[in-house]
Amino acid sequence: MTLVLTDDQRMIRDEAARLLSERSSSEAVRKIVDSGAGTDAKLWSALSRELGWCSMAIPEEFGGLGLGATELVLLQEICGQWLACVPFWSTACVATPLLLAAASEEAKQRLLPAIAVGDLTIAVAWGALGEINPLAVCTVNAAKVDGGYSLHGHVSQVVDLPFADLVLVPALLDGVLSLFAVRRDAGLHIEPLTSMDATRPIGAARFDALELPPESRIDGDGLTSDAVEAALALAQLCFAAEQAGAARGVMDVTLAYVAERVQFGRAIASFQAIKHRCARLEVDIAEVRALIYGAAANFSADDAGELRLEASGARALASELLFRAAEEAIQLHGGVGFTWEYDPQLYFKRAQATTAILAQPEGHFCMIADALLGEASA
């Protein structure tokens, strides 16, 4: 396997970095945070409509570019590096693979072209957002009614829900886990929540006998963990890329600061202890990125079990890496490290919030141990 990026992949990465360095600077992110919006609507329109980011991994037959996991990982990594306030992960890395894996052909023809041109922003209402398998718990029930379906239930945490046009909702229908597509204007009750990470909005969704037309059910033969295993693994892998990118971002902020801060007549970057701490983080970032890129380059839905292990390994290491990088940034900034005026606190909040989504590192390590060692890991 080669981890060398192609010319096209390097162009995608470099152009994404150039754009977000301008449009998602510290000042731009803080403006969104101060406004309470959580999402930069203008930036998202540019990425999804003008630049076609959401079309990357959509097959050409549905109006996409037909690219793969590596391109998604590269874009999500840059989003993490600049703390971009856009729902790219929810729409392109979670919802789109889920539709490709589980939706009927009619639903794919209807929804995927709209995603590709940036007309749909999508959130997924997992019942168990904090679990490796978010399908493990279903908190929404569906019933057949005259003319369609009725949804009842509540999902307490949905990433990017306040900005979504469409919500994908797993729900139990006659004992079978099914997938429904619910438009925001269909009467869905959305409650915005206060999140530790103000750069990513989150909300609760309540379904009070919400009546939907027949075409709202979009799964083919039911929604099972096995059927969407590769899609879930890709979502985990892209999230790991975001965390690795955020670690890179806070590291860059820290390196710039220690190069300028003078103590005892010298820049503190020249101190041996500072050099060692920064070098250790650089090595860890390179290690995690290599694992993520390797898994993306070797992505194959035909080997979903192996992909799931690699994605969980990447998530566990990336979660720990981002927390350590943000922690080191605060310490190396000294007394100002935790203040609002400096950026490490933004990355620290992202580290805390992302760790709790789709399982904490311990959960991933336990899953890997169980898969490899079975009962011996107990």
Helices of type H across 261-360: 272-297, 304-332, 344-355
Please choose, from the candidates 215, 224, 237, the residue with its C-alpha nearest in 3D space to the C-alpha of residue 308. 237
The residue written with tokens 């998202």 in the block is 44
Query: What confidence tens digit (pLDDT) does each residue in 227-248 have?
Result: 899 999 999 999 999 999 999 9
Residue 260, pLDDT score: 86
Q: What are phi and psi of 343, to 5 degrees?
A: -80, -20
Q: What are phi and psi of 226, to 5 degrees?
A: -65, -40
| Rounded-to-10 torsion of CA 209, 214, 215, 218 | 70
CA angle 68/74/80 to nearest 5° reads: 135
What is the arithmetic mean of pLDDT over 271-278?
Answer: 92
* pLDDT exceeds 80 at position 301: no
The residue written with tokens 């977000």 in the block is 20
90 vs 239: CA distance, rounded Å: 10
Please choose, from the candidates 241, 237, 297, 296, the residue with its C-alpha nearest in 3D space to the C-alpha of residue 1. 297
Sign of CA dihedral 66, 70, 71, 75: positive
CATH code for the part of the protein at 7-120 = 1.10.540.10
Residue 261, pLDDT score: 85
Q: Is the Cβ–Cβ distance between 148 and 182 less than 8 Å? A: no
Domain ranges for the chain, please list them. 7-120, 123-216, 229-377
Neighbours of 31 (CB within 10 A): 13
Task: Fold for 229-377, please state it.
Answer: Butyryl-CoA Dehydrogenase, subunit A; domain 3 (1.20.140)
> What is 123-216's CATH superfamily?
Butyryl-CoA Dehydrogenase, subunit A, domain 2 (2.40.110.10)
Query: What confidence tens digit (pLDDT) does each residue in 138-197 have?
Result: 999 999 999 899 999 999 999 999 999 999 999 999 999 999 999 998 989 999 998 889
